Amino acid sequence: MDKKLLVGLFLLLALPAFADQVVLKNGDRLSGTITKSDGKELVIKTEFEGDVTVKFDAIQTFTSTGDLNVSLGGKTVVGPVTTNGDNLVVTTKTAGPVEAPKASVTMVRSPAEEAAYQKSLHPGLLEGWNGGLNVGFALTAGNSETKNLNIGFNATRTGFHDKLVLYETSIYSSTGKIALQPISPSQTTADSHGGGIRYDRDFAGRVFGFVSGDFFSNSLQNLDLRYILGGGIGYHAIKKPNTTLDLLAGVNYTHESFSDLANPNAPPDFYNHSDSTAALTVGDNFTHKIGKNSVFTQSFLLYPSFSQVNIAPLAPTPDEQRVLRGAVNLGFVTKFNKWLGWQLTLSDVFDNHPIVSVPPIERNDITFATGLNISFTH
């Protein structure tokens, strides 16, 4: 027989000896590269089947040809791994063989998985982000001319002990020519914008601190800008892979400014108004993953003011009231694939004593939007 053929056959038969081995209690054998385990399941990357996940309790023996990072009974050791009965043996370079029961294993990571894990603990400023862009657009022409555009953006950067959240929402709508109405000037029917940022930092178990800033404007309300700067403490009431619930409590400083408000007592006079107040912050943030492709989100924030403020400064009798503001947001996203999906959002920004103007400003500002969702991960 040709020597080259013999060498080839020898190398082919020897390949399993250079791969990690997992032998199950039912006699099945897997060869490949062990990548990770959480003590409940083990993942091995095979040549033909890709990643294969097996129950840790179903493993009879496993052996690695290269180093693995293994947590045994609270300490982490590094080295090739073999089994000895019900024990696991890690041959370290410094302390020699370290043996412990397989039941004490809480983590196994390959060098690549360990490097990725360490990087996740200290991501760069531009790393670890995920989120989505929501876009909805409608247009009519002919007998009537209307335009409607809604845009939403959210991004979350989650670290080992902290989280940074950014968001922005805008909605714009206008009407133009309408059939059978010879004079129908273009009119803006919606023009509102909102955005914000929140930073959370865990400091004791499920307790975390947060700081936030929220910003709003609405041209139809003549609201130039309302900003709410606050901070406080939160509690991770639910912290599971598919469900999270955070409870929030703190204080905030709110400032708002209006321009060109119609004076109801002296038409057609106009006036400008601005005020500031300190208030409490109470609320929650809830997220629940439904199946593999859908996510429901809900947030509720309430801002009861500490002091009385003058709501109608030009009224014959000043209207001193305690202001209660808040916002409720509901969202649902279902994905078609990794980057494209469909979204529904419903929000209500409310103020129990809106500024006086003609026509009157409503207490509730409700928006509903739907459209495409474009997801991203970095």
Fold of 129-377: Porin (2.40.160)
CA nearest neighbour of 372 among 60, 132, 94: 132
CA-based nearest residue to 299, from 313, 287, 284, 282:
284
Separation in Å, CA 281 to CA 22, 198, 204, 253, 299: 54, 13, 21, 10, 13
CB 47 within 8 A of CB 20: no
Instruction: Please enumerate in sequence order all residues whose Cβ is within 8 A of that of 277, keeping only pairs 6 or more positions apart, or say none.
Output: 253, 254, 305, 306, 307, 309, 323
Rounded Cα distance between 60 and 86, Å, is 8
The residue extents of the domains of the chain are 3-110, 129-377
Q: Which contiguous run of DSSP H or E holds residue 260? A: strand 243-262
- Over the stretch 233-258, which tens digit does the pLDDT of each residue have? 999 999 888 999 999 999 999 998 98
Of 221, 287, 212, nearest in space to 252 by CA? 212
**Of 187 and 152, which is predicted with more confidence?**
152
Q: Which residues of 244-253 are buried (b: 16+ CB within 10 A; e: fewer)?
A: bbbbbebebe
What is the structure's pLDDT at 70? 92
Give residue 246's identity as a one-letter amino acid code: D
Provide the whole-model pTM: 0.70
pLDDT in tens, 127-182: 778 889 989 888 877 777 788 888 989 999 887 788 899 999 999 888 876 555 55
User: pLDDT > 90: what percent of the chain?
Assistant: 38
Concatenating the DSSP letter of every residue in 150-169 gives EEEEEEEEE-SSEEEEEEEE
Render pLDDT for 292-337 as a digit per residue (tens, 0 to 9). 889 999 999 999 988 755 555 555 455 556 778 899 999 999 999 8
